[in-house]
Amino acid sequence: MAADQYISLPQLEDFCHAAFAAIGADVATTEAATRAMLHGTRFGVDSHGVRLLPHYLKALEGGRLNRNPELKRVGGFGAVEVWDADHAQGALGSYHGMARAIELARQFGLGAAAIRNSSHFGPAGAYALAAAQTGFIGIAFCNSDSFVRLHDGAMRFHGTNPISVAVPVQGDNPWFLDMATSAIPYNRVQLYRSLGVELPQGTASDVQGLDTRDAEAADMLAPLGGEFGFKGAALAGVAEIFSAVLTGMKLSFDILPMGGPDFSTPRGMGAFMLALNPDAFLDRAAFDAGMRRYVGRLRASPARADCRVMAPGDREWDVARGRDHSGVILDPTTAAAFDEIAARLGIAPVS
């Protein structure tokens, strides 16, 4: 694969489908995992895009993830359901959970789904956006294995613990927040290692908890907020409570590391999905008018010199338009991994 070769999103989708099928993953796993990764790549969240394919294949082949899971409802009442994902790839349980939350919200005005025995979440925004694209407000939480120090801390405590909120805007793209509660996600460190790029200041620490910009020396991440990192650490706690405590799953510091070396033992992770139906709160026309006025005034507000005021998600939608048209260039590590996958599994390479 040429170093500067653009690959279309449909080509990447076909390659991911072929790779999952080649190792015996079922159709539901194949479609959910590919959908989530393509979301990340399309919106420029490359740390949670198709570069995760080699990792997911390794986890499925090693037994950490179930290639043919059977999702089962195991609890809940009223507007709440609890689902056991049977150690599925994380996107399968998460998309299913949000779909159930949406159906509950149609009936009750809001719906919540707690997911048990899941695994790596992928891009949180994929699940919140699934709700917004059907006219609902979507909120998604997940915790992950410890990699983020506390404010003034010198050990890994929380995971990157993402939070996403997506809100429909009539006639426009949804207002769309997708954030890690760490200064940056760990997969961004891996991406910067691959690209040989320095980390931003105040985003990572070495083994002693001291700030470093060297991606190779980064042993833990800093919480969001810099000198006010206690706010990021508290937000990580919000995700921890919703996705681990409320689901009965493992806390971040009890989860086996994402990167192994054990790829045979399920990780027992949780996730939490919430959907709200605006129609239950006010007339839909009033809701739509309020959102249009809000984002319109936000974007039209005065900006600093040579800057642009954007609503959450505007940057991602800009990237998506470009990548829908031109495709993407894979980072060197991912490109090499895709070539290896094609050769090993006997599938057509990305080209």
pLDDT digits (tens, 9 = 90+) for 67-80: 999 999 999 999 99
Task: Categorize the per-residue pLDDT at 127 as very low, low, confident or very high, splitting at 50, 70 and 90.
Answer: very high
Confidence tier at 190 by pLDDT (50, 70, 90): confident
- pLDDT over 90 at 2, yes or no: no
Chain-centre distance for alpha carbon 292: 27
CA–CA gap between residue 124 and residue 145 (Å, rounded): 15
**Phi, psi (5° rounding) for residue 186?**
-65, -35
Alpha carbon of residue 302 to chain centroid: 32
Q: Are 38 and 61 contacting, i.e. CB atoms less than 8 angstroms apart?
A: no
Number of Cβ within 10 Å of residue 231's Cβ equals 14
For the chain, the maximum distance between any two Cα atoms, rounded to a whole number of angstroms, is: 56
Q: Residue 1: what pLDDT?
A: 63
Pairing of strands 80-84, 6-7: unpaired
User: What rounded mean pLDDT belongs to the chain?
Assistant: 96
pLDDT digits (tens, 9 = 90+) for 12-43: 999 999 999 999 999 999 999 999 999 999 99
Domains and CATH numbers, the chain: 6-280 (3.30.1370.60)
pTM of the model: 0.94
Residues in a beta bridge with 114: 82, 272
